[in-house]
Structure 1
Amino acid sequence: MANGTNDKPSVKQQRDARRQEKVAALKKQQERARRNRLIGIVTASVAGAAVVALVVAYVVTSGQPRQDPQAIEIDGVQTYSDLTANHVAGAVDYAMTPPAGGDHNQIWLNCGVYTEPVPNENAVHDLEHGAIWFTYDPAQVSDAEIEALQDFAPDTYAVVSPFEGLDSPMYVSAWGAQLPFANVTDDEASVSDFVTKYWKSGDAPEPGAPCTGGVDGEGKIA
């Protein structure tokens, strides 16, 4: 018997599903490329460098150049290497604003949407687990732009929170990388590429570690 409930997925759920499918496809291509590199190493001992170059350059099964998330190029991305990941007590003086990795509190922040600033040290712990962190300067954005950002963010492994004093209206940060942008409407392509490349990335120090069961900041939207 119909109960009046609309079971059709929401636009946000459909977007998240497409995003998951895209990430899964890219990771599958990356695994295929790794197998190709192994084949290339073995082949090199038999047939020489020419065969190695052919195998490495092309995917064996399709004859197409290999692709993986790391191959995505995004204009404006800032990257940081050699970041430490120690658990510390108290505040941390980060080298970038907003933080995109470094020493952090031993307890992670529960992922989700927040209407108040969250502690940097707990949010950075989320980045260590493969989450991404969307920040916005309330003085530079409208309520509509904030709502669009909250709707755009993945339902899992993502934090959205205000961050005063940014040099760009909005940022999206992952461990060792971040992208400044104006809003998700005008910059959807580049922000989507960033999410595809860095969301739940295996390059984070502890990918797949929890993004729940930690601590909540103020103003968390249930």
Structure 2
Amino acid sequence: MSISSPSGEPRDPSVVRTGAKPGAGRGPGGAGKPGAKGGRGPRKPVTPVKVAGARNWGAIALFSAVGLLTAGIIGAGVYYTSQTPEVVGVDEIQGMENYRKSRPKDVEGGRHQAGPIKYDIMPPVFGPHNGIWQNCTGDVYTEPIASEHAVHSMEHGAVWITYRPDLPKDQVDRLAGKVRGRDKMLLSPFPNLDKPIALQAWGYQLKLDSLDDQRVNEFIKTMRGTAAIENATCAEGVTTTGIVPVNLPNQG
């Protein structure tokens, strides 16, 4: 049996029709193909999701360790280069006090300080000192001089030879012959010296009983100029004598 539709066309009651036209959603080439009118069209590309992988903690630890080691080496280098270095050949002089080795922090340098200064080593060989040095271009002083000026001279690399005031004149003259006219050298008597002769350079001291001791020449040869911790002249210093330091108006 057939049933007439409103359009007058007979239709089979066993067939259920929908509003979609036959072939809807299909492309010209067949089912499921894109491009068909009224179809879903091409799918949008799916953005890939980034998944954070586990961190390589072993590599991080390695680089951290290398960085710390490098920093430590640099730091150690800075520390050691800041220390006052030893003078070459110093170990060959027997019986010398090496304060650069026994008191390295004290020997690193000294600030300028006006007025009298109390030293724990006599004659002093390092530490705070007057802002102007004692002239040390081979100067021979027949009277005691201020230690505060002489210490500054040693900072410039001078060898300061001192002697007990009761040292026989012929030995004083011989000492003067080793000093006079030689840059980075000065000579003066020193009251209450516990040995007849004492030689000083910055951080080093040698006390002797006799001028005939060969170590006098060894000390001068090794220390003169080379013991400096400040590359400066020995000229244009004070030439006055007396144990009270000269204070300049602008000195602090």
Whether the TM-score (by the shorter chain) exceeds 0.5 is yes
1:71–1:163 Cα change, 3 Å: closer
- Residue in structure 2 matching 1:91, options 116, 123, 130: 116
CA distance in 1 between counterparts of 2:177 and 2:124 reads 23
SS in 2 for 1:98: coil
Aligned to 2:225: 200
CA distance in 1 between counterparts of 2:224 and 2:233 reads 14
CA distance in 2 between counterparts of 1:183 and 1:145 reads 9
CA distance in 2 between counterparts of 1:165 and 1:214 reads 25
> Partner letter of residue 179 of structure 1?
L
CA distance in 1 between counterparts of 2:118 and 2:159 reads 20
Deviations 1:161-200 (A, max 9, x none): 000101100101000001001232x21x211111122110
Aligned to 1:73: 92
- The answer to whether the 8 A contact 2:112-2:129 is kept is yes
- Residue in structure 1 matching 2:179, options 140, 145, 153: 153
- Residue in structure 2 matching 1:117, options 129, 144, 164: 144
SS in 1 for 2:173: helix
Aligned to 1:131: 158
1:87–1:182 Cα change, 3 Å: same
Q: CA deviation at 1:72?
A: 4.6
Question: Who wins on radius of gyration, i.e. which is larger?
Answer: 2
CA distance in 1 between counterparts of 2:140 and 2:193 reads 18
State the structure with bigger RCO (CA 8 A, min sep 6), 1 or 2.
1
SS in 2 for 1:126: helix
Q: TM-score, normalised by structure 2?
A: 0.55
CA distance in 1 between counterparts of 2:176 and 2:210 reads 11
Q: CA deviation at 1:204?
A: 2.3
Deviations 1:136-185 (A, max 9, x none): 0112x10001001111226211110000101100101000001001232x
> Partner letter of residue 191 of structure 1?
V
CA distance in 2 between counterparts of 1:71 and 1:106 reads 28
Q: CA deviation at 1:71?
A: 5.5
Aligned to 2:49: none
SS in 2 for 1:123: helix
CA distance in 1 between counterparts of 2:143 and 2:92 reads 32
- The answer to whether the 8 A contact 2:199-2:205 is kept is yes
SS in 2 for 1:206: coil
SS in 2 for 1:213: coil
1:177 aligns with 2:204: yes
SS in 1 for 2:200: strand
> Partner letter of residue 115 of structure 2?
G
- Larger helix proportion, structure 1 or 2? 1
SS in 2 for 1:178: strand
Q: CA deviation at 1:127?
A: 0.2
- The answer to whether the 8 A contact 1:72-1:193 is kept is no
Q: TM-score, normalised by structure 1?
A: 0.62
Aligned to 2:11: none
- Residue in structure 1 matching 2:189, options 151, 154, 162: 162
Deviations 1:95-149 (A, max 9, x none): 211011111001011111000000100011000000000000112x100010011
- The answer to whether the 8 A contact 1:131-1:174 is kept is yes
SS in 1 for 2:119: coil
CA distance in 1 between counterparts of 2:90 and 2:173 reads 31
